[in-house]
Amino acid sequence: MGKKIISTADAPAAIGTYSQAVQVGNTTWLSGQIPLDPATKELVQGGIEAQVHQVFKNLKAVVTAAGASFDDVVKATIFLTDMSNFAAVNKIMAEYFREPYPARAAVGVSSLPRGAQVEVECIVVRLRPRADRRRPDRLRARERGKAGDGVTRRRRAPGGAPGRARRRDRPGSAVPASPEI
C-alpha cells in the first residue's frame, strides 16, 4: 500500500516542503490550512470569522479531492493565536460538520504563517464503500452470476475432503455437505 499525494487547485498550494494531503489506504492526513484565498494566495480580510470560514473552505476542497467529505473527518486540530476566538471557531465549525462530530483539539500558539489567526489540520478515514471504488473482480463475478445468486457452493476442507456448503446470499448459513462430492 503506497502513499498517494492529494492536491487541488481549489485550495492554496503548499507554501513549503509539504503536500496538501497524503493518503495511505483509506486514511488521509491533511496539512494545516490557513485562511489564504486560493485565487490570490493572500490572507482573507474581515477578521476571525472570515478567516475561519476560509480555512474550512480550503479544507473542504482538499477533503473532496481525496474522495471524501467532512463526514469522514475523524480528528481536527485547531491552532489559534488568540484562544478567546475559540467560541467563534466552535460556532463556525458547526456550520461545516454535523453530528457525530470529529475528535478535536484546540491549541494556543504565539504566531502562524503569514500572520493568520487560525490554522486547522485534520485526519480523514473513509470507511463506507463508494460505488466507483468497488473491486473490479467482484463486479465481474456479480455480472456472471457467481456471487450473491443464492446458489449453494461447496467448500473443500484442507486435504480435499468435503467441507460444509454455504449459501452465499446468507452469510453464516450452512448446510451439511453431501458425501457425493
For the whole model, what pTM was predicted?
0.70
Residue ranges of domains in the chain, CATH in brackets: 3-131 (3.30.1330.40), 134-172 (no CATH)
User: Which residues are CB-neighbours of 67 under 8 A, at least 6 positions away?
Assistant: 126, 130, 133
Give, for all 181 residues of the chain, the pLDDT tens digit. Answer: 899 999 999 999 988 899 999 999 999 999 999 999 999 999 999 999 999 999 999 999 999 999 999 999 999 999 999 999 999 999 999 999 999 999 999 999 999 999 999 999 999 999 866 554 444 455 444 444 555 545 545 555 566 555 555 445 555 545 555 555 4
Question: DSSP string covering 89-113, please?
Answer: HHHHHHHH--SSPPEEEEEE-S--G
3-state secondary structure of 61: helix
